[in-house]
Amino acid sequence: MAHADKYMPPNQPPIGSEGVKEAEKIKSELEDFKKKVVKKFPFTLSLSILPAQSFKVFEEDEGLLPEEVSRKPLHLFMTIPEDEYKNVQKKIKPEVVSLISEGKHNVWVHIKTPVDVWNYGLDSKFEMIDAVSSSYPLYDKGFLGALRVANIHKTLVLRKFEKYVATYAVGGSLVRGTAGKDSDVDTFVVIDDTDVKKMPRMQLLEKLRGFIYDYIREASALAGVKNILNVQVYLLTDFWQSVKDATPVIFTFIRDGVPMYDRGTFLPWKLLLKMGKIKPSPEAVDTFMKYGEQNDGLVKRRLMDAMIDIYWGVITPTQALMMLAGQAPPVPKHLVEEVKKQFIDKEKIMDNKELKVLEKVVGLYKDYEHGKLKEISGTEIDQLLKDSKDYDKKLQELRKKLESRIMEHTADYVYNEMFSLLKNIFHEDSKEKLIELFERELIKKGKLSERYLPIMKEVLKLKEKVKGKKSTTQNEIDNVRRDAEDLINKLIEYTQRKELAVMERGVMQLSYGGGKKAELVLTSSGVFLIEQGKIKKIDKGSLVDTDAKEFEKAMTEGLKKEDMKLGSHVTDTLKKHLGEFEIVV
């Protein structure tokens, strides 16, 4: 109700706040009457209050007696379907009058069909169409809203370009009486270009067409309806040529269309058509006959286009699935063999049935590319479309399986990587002990930020969810993986710092042979191995016995920076003697 101004007819001043209150009051008083009318006559298309300044016009058109006019009734406009017109006088009008009497309303109801409304236009009573379209709606199935959006658009166009507009007419479902709340509203605007001197005709058309199309959005917003307004704009001279050739679209428009504004152009055309004076030229007949000759080729080409669309509809999501599996998207000619290798042989998640659909689609497209396939039947397209839908459905299932596996692999990776580093740091196998040591030795002692403790717990939680097949999202996996990778990098940095510190001291602990321990000492005089209380020195790829005196002397000499490196000759010698070993940090 706050936008009641939008229901006012052209050039009428806003009704103001007092007018809005009055409209609210009237609507409230008529609410019970409206409900009874709609219940009694459920076929009612619309019921609305006509604008006050139009009362006189409708009173004259309806032929109200002076005593009826003197009562100054409120005029309502009721629209009913055309096939109910026969019941107006005998049934509908007496019942409506009875309902008025029951409610003691001072109203006059004009009961009309859409044909009556269009006759206002055909009789050049455009102000009456304006009044109906601007009436205040009490009930509407869509007819009134569709009429309103067309009329508002017409008003906006006329206010800006009235001297150029020869005709503004409406057609389509609105005129046929089948318009609903979501129906398109078809209108035609004919621009008079016969007196244009300042610019070329086509420039005028493009300029006015731009403004007219811009007004569509404004009209839809003002009307407050969902109906889409379709506007066709023609130059008068071009329209005349189309009339002369009896172009089917224009022929239909003149036959069925109704003017909402006309400067004596549209109605003569309509009369000439009724009189049989508008007939197509022989050239026009030849032109339209050729459409039939072209039909076969057009249909065949469109069927081929459909096959190509189906091809891309199969190829593109298949390539996407290959990318999800961690593969580069294969080129179409190698797609079948790559899909077989990845999803049938390796992953074992696709059947040969789906592969055959892919083979068929790729094969048809190859034949088309090489000129072997000239046409395809509608039956083949139908089957191809069905197969492609089943194939796409299967791809959606495969995607879920792949994503589930990827999530599982991701969870395993971050979990295993994290605990592998912790084992390396603390030399402990128990998960519970490692978690305890992580918190006590690294977090509480300030070696790592406190924010890494909840990250570890999230990794553990994710591992349990994936292991227990509990629902998780890709977004959750990505967040945990991102945070876990940060933690893993910090653990690697910590390990490297510790290793460096050990190297700088020149003393390293070795683990070998199922838990045996040894010590490797780097000095400027050489590398010594202390194993089970015995001291040996690495010399030219072999371990030779030495004594404590030589070892102590080497230790007192210190360690130069260039001697801190553990060369390959040292590691090779250790492997020969100890077997597989690792440096314990």
Question: Percent of the chain at pLDDT above 70?
Answer: 89
Question: Where are the extended beta strands (E) located within 295-346?
Answer: none
CA–CA distance, 180 with 140 (Å, rounded to integer): 9
Q: pLDDT-based confidence at 284, cuts 50/70/90? A: low
User: Residue 482 above 60 pLDDT?
Assistant: yes
* CB of 160 closer than 8 Å to CB of 184: no
367 and 321 in a common domain: yes
Q: pLDDT-based confidence at 6, cuts 50/70/90? A: very low
Residue 246 lies in a domain: yes
- 72: tokens are 């100054």
CATH number at residue 197: 3.30.460.10
Task: Give the helix, strand, coil percentages of the chain, each rounded to 5.
Answer: 65, 15, 25
Greater confidence (148 vs 207) lies with 148
Residue 397 lies in a domain: no
Residue 394 lies in a domain: no
User: Residue 491 above 90 pLDDT?
Assistant: no
Per-residue pLDDT at 8:
39
317 and 353 in a common domain: yes
Q: Give ∠ CA 414-418-420 in degrees, rounded to 5.
A: 120
Report the chain's terminal Cα–Cα distance, integer Å: 79
Averaged over 539-555, what is the pLDDT?
A: 82
Into how many domains does the chain fold?
5
Per-residue pLDDT at 12:
39
CA–CA distance, 104 with 442 (Å, rounded to integer): 89
CA–CA distance, 322 with 332 (Å, rounded to integer): 12
Q: pLDDT-based confidence at 560, cuts 50/70/90? A: low
User: Residue 527 above 80 pLDDT?
Assistant: yes
210 and 270 in a common domain: yes
CA–CA distance, 95 with 138 (Å, rounded to integer): 19
Averaged over 424-452, what is the pLDDT?
A: 84
User: Residue 500 above 70 pLDDT?
Assistant: no
Per-residue pLDDT at 4:
35
Q: pLDDT-based confidence at 3, cuts 50/70/90? A: very low
223 and 122 in a common domain: no
Domain of residue 344: give its range. 289-376
92 and 208 in a common domain: no
Maximum average pLDDT range among 339-348, 509-518, 555-564: 339-348
Residue 396 lies in a domain: no
191 and 93 in a common domain: no
Question: Percent of the chain at pLDDT above 90?
Answer: 28
**Phi-psi region at 469: left, alpha or beta (left = phi > 0; alpha = psi -120 to 50):** left
Which residue reads 């004009």 in tokens?
A: 110
CA–CA distance, 335 with 356 (Å, rounded to integer): 12
User: Residue 281 above 60 pLDDT?
Assistant: yes
Per-residue pLDDT at 92:
93
Determine which of 21-25, 232-236, 267-271, 489-493 has the lowest per-residue pLDDT on average.
21-25
Q: Which of 280, 300, 334 is the last residue of a domain?
A: 280
Residue 401 lies in a domain: no
Per-residue pLDDT at 288:
62
5 and 131 in a common domain: yes
110 and 15 in a common domain: yes
Q: Which of 141, 164, 186 is the last residue of a domain?
A: 141
Residue 55 lies in a domain: yes
Per-residue pLDDT at 294:
67
Please give the single-letter amino acid code of residue 478: D
Hey, what's the torsion of the CAs at 416, 422, 427, 429, to 10 degrees? -40
152 and 133 in a common domain: no
22 and 84 in a common domain: yes
Greater confidence (420 vs 187) lies with 187
Hey, is 394 helix, strand or coil? helix
Mean pLDDT over each residue of the chain, to the nearest integer: 83
Alpha-carbon torsion 452, 453, 454, 456, what sign? Answer: positive
Which residue reads 């236009």 in tokens?
A: 121
Per-residue pLDDT at 558:
60
Q: What is the pLDDT of residues 27-79, one digit of tens each?
A: 778 888 999 999 999 999 999 999 999 999 999 998 999 999 999 999 999 99
Residue 400 lies in a domain: no
Q: What is the pLDDT of residues 363-419, one digit of tens each?
A: 999 988 888 888 899 999 999 999 999 999 999 988 888 877 777 888 888 888 888
Q: What is the pLDDT of residues 311-366, one digit of tens each?
A: 999 999 999 888 888 888 888 888 899 999 988 888 888 888 889 999 999 999 99
**Whose CA is closest to 400, among 454, 471, 303, 310?**
471
Q: Which of 93, 125, 141 is the last residue of a domain?
A: 141
Maximum average pLDDT range among 18-22, 92-96, 322-326, 370-374: 92-96
267 and 167 in a common domain: yes
26 and 127 in a common domain: yes
Task: Order across the sheet with 534-539: list the strands.
Answer: 542-545, 534-539, 526-531, 516-523, 507-512, 581-584
User: Residue 141 above 70 pLDDT?
Assistant: yes
Averaged over 141-145, what is the pLDDT?
A: 90
- 124: tokens are 């050049």
Q: pLDDT-based confidence at 425, cuts 50/70/90? A: confident
Residue 388 lies in a domain: no
How much is the pTM? 0.49
Alpha-carbon torsion 87, 88, 92, 93, what sign? Answer: negative
User: Residue 438 above 50 pLDDT?
Assistant: yes
**Whose CA is closest to 76, among 122, 118, 34?**
34
